[in-house]
Amino acid sequence: MGDVLAGFHASWEFTSDSVLIRYERGIRTPKLFQALGERRIPVAAISGVSLTRGRRGTAVLRAEPRPGADPLLEAAAGQLKEGCDPYRLVLPAERETLAEYYAEELRARLTETGPADRFLVDPPEAPLSFKAYDAKASFDGTTVRFRWFWTGASSAKWKAGDQSFRTAELAGVEWRSPEVFEGHLRLLRRDAPADGRSPRPSIPAQPSMPLLSPAPPQPARPAQPDQDPAAVVFGLGYGSVHESLPFAAAVLSAVRTSAPVPSGTPAGAAGAGMAVGGAAMGGRSDPADVAERIRHLGELHRAGLVTDEEFAAKKAELLAEL
């Protein structure tokens, strides 16, 4: 066991090759810290250490992680507020001298700088789940599932049906904090352009006209998150940072370590036990739940948002789950 430096909301234990951060549980502790519980940060994942004066008679010790070393910070993409920075330890001012000692000791052990070529900090452990505004998102370590709520999901998502994505099918994760703007979690698929854009075909030249240079590609706007079946949106009390960010980090870490789907494998096919049309193969859905979803589908049909053919096909899909 190494030396321990205790601060507000957390304590750091210094060992020869890592810093073990234990977050407290308490009414004043940020919920993200409580959700993380405990994190071991390898010395190889740290590029620097700073100690500064804080507000109201405090000192702030902060470890600077290497870019690309921590899936949590990669998923957060700079959107975390200062008070929720998991690498920041706030201490009473009287412990500043002690903190400086540990800072110097830790600096002496640092040997790596620059971006990391892989994640060095462990992600939050699966299984994980949280409620977004329009769906329940769940992750078992290999597959992400979105199950739409009839009270919040758009008609486009209801038409698409509940979704299932293997991490090997994904290229990344886009997380937007609900505390910054309109939050969402979007899964980026390998078969889509990385920037979510697609070129528009150039117009062929007419024989009677001089040849023109091909028109430059025009960006196609990515679907709005509330219309994208690969995304869930957040709302008041839905998709909170302490629930959705660890989820995003776990998925992102799994994506980075997953092998791509072999060519010829149908998109969305997750093998035995995967979700198809909202039900797991070999399993049965709750009849009351299926009835509620059919009722909502009927409302969409009567409102003209679903065609007769789509209504019949989706209803048959839902009935097949029983």
The reported pTM is 0.76
Contacts 24+ apart (CB under 8 A), 190-195: 190/260, 190/261, 191/267
H helix or E strand, kind and range, residue 131? strand 128-131
* Identity of the residue numbered 162: D
DSSP 116: -
Q: What is the pLDDT of residues 166-185, one digit of tens each?
A: 999 999 999 999 987 789 99
Q: In 10 A of CB 5, how many CB atoms? A: 20
Q: What is the DSSP letter of 303?
A: T
Q: Are 107 and 19 in contact (CB under 8 A)?
A: no
Q: Identify whether the C-beta of residue 155 lies closer than 8 Å to the C-beta of residue 305.
A: yes
Q: At what angle do helices 287-302 and 308-319 cross, to 10 degrees?
A: 180
Q: 13 has which bridge partners?
A: 4, 20
Per-residue burial over 180-194, b = 16 or more CB atoms within 10 Å of its CB, e = otherwise: eeebbbbbbeeeeee
Q: Which residues of the chain have pLDDT under 50?
A: 194-212, 261, 263-283
Residue closest to 285 by CA, chosen among 244, 246, 317: 317
Taking the C-alpha atoms of residue 114 and residue 202, their distance in angstroms, rounded to an integer, is 42
Distance CA 206, CA 204 (A): 6
Helix then strand count (H, E) for the chain reads 7, 16
